[in-house]
Structure 1
């Protein structure tokens, strides 16, 4: 994991994600691309006397200066060499971010979960949800009041699928630099067949396919999957909560419906890491 992409809207609520991105970049020894996506049409609506090229030039310079001020204010006057600042014009924030994912060959997107006003709340909320649904690389959403700290534990909710093995492999990239525990949890309902047997099978698969020893598994029994998982996440106090965005019908069809994922994102008070099943399988 060598290229991290952090996106900001300059709001106060995006600062914790900036601190987390900086901490993660330092520990992973990765390049951190700090991005602001702006909409020139909305900003320059009244400056009709300027040519489009001039407006474009002025806006680019202004936004880059704002980004530099934001970073220096929240990191320090001397920005580290691993930090690369950039701005990009696009009317839709999520599409602009994905443009840069492609051109930078980024490995991870980081962003905050709220903006600084009602309008920005809607924008950044829809941006985070759109990225979770459409990004082919993992998305890490950091809550607006989160205080960054070294990662000592990562919890991942598993459905005992092959894609879960692929997701755990990716989690190892986060865990290794911190020597963190990866804890897998599964909630078994009364209608599910042989949850304990499936867990035993999944453990065997992990031992064969994942070269990381600090992994443990936990099994809970409940028909209320969402709240059981949520309570488990809170009890365990993990540094990162991880999930897989699933498309096909099955055990987690209701749990990982996009509205429920958004609900989890809004309720959790720690970073939420999302992988998309479709893109994991295509790798």
Structure 2
């Protein structure tokens, strides 16, 4: 019986060649497909194919090369997490988080971190120096936070409405520590479907967005993060109609779009997969965009989906113009596109344009 070939990896050309050498060194015959002899590789990647009977022997080699270890992935909990600092900005985020949780029938988790007092040690000794008053200060901070939470919660319920508030499960968590580390640790232990954050809080000390807590969470969280801009008025998710996903033709885009569609399922939305071409290879970009459209249409047959190509050197200007012209409600992208996200959050550009603070930003982790 003929031993059929199967694809075990889709890699850049250079990595595919390395993998082939490793496989053949172990006596596994390996074939590469999708090789463009002129360019040396193709954007979609090179297929590494082997006989089906060799897959079991080949997988450990593949995992060693990619630096992978076998882990049991944690399942998302059906919850929406919102870090709050009791500011008016986090109130906007909490309202948005409630509306999403209500629409998705998820639990709402309000999370507050009390700044931890600093303890000092003398160099090269085990001696710890601290002020005993810090314990009193800690208790005082905790009591103050509890009082602020009561006020915050009353305002939130008043905004939402008493009857609607009773429709979902809610949990409030208050811990003492460092905001970024505590929030990330919690999401590792209890991965929510989504983190909803204000893009600027009361304790912000940096002017540029990449210096804020929100940007740090975006960069490190392994779950989707939705930011609610400081300058945006209350956003009614019942009126959510148009979402842009900015693509750079990475294979992880398909995973991100699948997650996006899952979150948007209860909403009647149109999704635009948009690419801003900055090279002269327009024909090639259009071909890749059409291929992406065909795949997404098969996966999401009942979604109103459109793929859009824009050409221009100024990524921000092109996105801003498109968002305003078409009245886009949310901009979405993936963190692995360092070139894209770095340019969007470049401090000098952000201060000049500030367009990304006008609509929510939904970010996925590759």
TM-score normalised over the length of structure 1: 0.82
Deviations 1:186-214 (A, max 9, x none): 11223335121111111122133345432
Q: Which runs of 4+ in 1 moved over 6 A?
A: 120-124
Q: Counterpart in 1 of 2:154? A: 72
The one of 84, 93, 106 equivalent to 1:30 is: 106
How far is 1:133 from its partner? 0.8
Contact 2:290/2:307, CA 8 A, preserved across alignment: no
Q: Secondary structure at the match of 1:171?
A: helix
CA distance in 2, matches of 1:197, 1:19: 41
Q: Secondary structure at the match of 2:80?
A: strand
The one of 228, 238, 263 equivalent to 2:328 is: 238
Relative to structure 1, the CA distance from residue 15 to residue 125 in structure 2 (aligned partners, 3 Å threshold; closer, same or farther) is farther
User: Are residues 1:213 and 2:300 paired?
Assistant: no
How far is 1:102 from its partner? 2.4
The one of 317, 332, 339 equivalent to 1:254 is: 339
The one of 199, 204, 210 equivalent to 1:113 is: 199
Contact 2:117/2:138, CA 8 A, preserved across alignment: no
Q: Counterpart in 2 of 1:250? A: none
CA distance in 2, matches of 1:153, 1:63: 38
Larger radius of gyration: 2
CA distance in 2, matches of 1:124, 1:186: 23
CA distance in 2, matches of 1:96, 1:266: 29
Q: Secondary structure at the match of 1:41?
A: coil
CA distance in 2, matches of 1:55, 1:95: 21
Deviations 1:159-207 (A, max 9, x none): 1221111111011122211121111111122333512111111112213
Which range moves more in the overlay, 79-88 or 199-208?
A: 79-88
CA distance in 1, matches of 2:210, 2:277: 34
How far is 1:24 from its partner? 0.8
Q: Secondary structure at the match of 2:331?
A: strand
Q: Counterpart in 1 of 2:221? A: 135
Contact 1:153/1:180, CA 8 A, preserved across alignment: yes
CA distance in 2, matches of 1:261, 1:202: 28
Q: Secondary structure at the match of 1:132?
A: helix
The one of 157, 167, 173 equivalent to 1:86 is: 173
How far is 1:61 from its partner? 4.2
User: Are residues 1:195 and 2:281 paired?
Assistant: no
Q: Secondary structure at the match of 1:218?
A: strand
Which range moves more in the overlay, 181-190 or 203-212?
A: 203-212
Q: Counterpart in 1 of 2:185? A: 99
CA distance in 1, matches of 2:134, 2:341: 47
How far is 1:84 from its partner? 1.2
The one of 49, 54, 60 equivalent to 2:142 is: 60
Structure 2 residue runs of 5 or longer lacking an equivalent are 1-75, 119-129
CA distance in 2, matches of 1:161, 1:210: 18
Deviations 1:93-145 (A, max 9, x none): 11111122123331211110112366387899521111111110011110123
The answer to which structure, 1 or 2, has the higher relative contact order (CA under 8 A, 6+ apart) is 1
Aligned CA RMSD, in angstroms, stands at 2.9
Structure 1 residue runs of 5 or longer lacking an equivalent are 248-252, 278-283
Relative to structure 1, the CA distance from residue 83 to residue 239 in structure 2 (aligned partners, 3 Å threshold; closer, same or farther) is farther
Q: Counterpart in 2 of 1:280? A: none
CA distance in 2, matches of 1:242, 1:39: 31
User: Are residues 1:160 and 2:236 paired?
Assistant: no
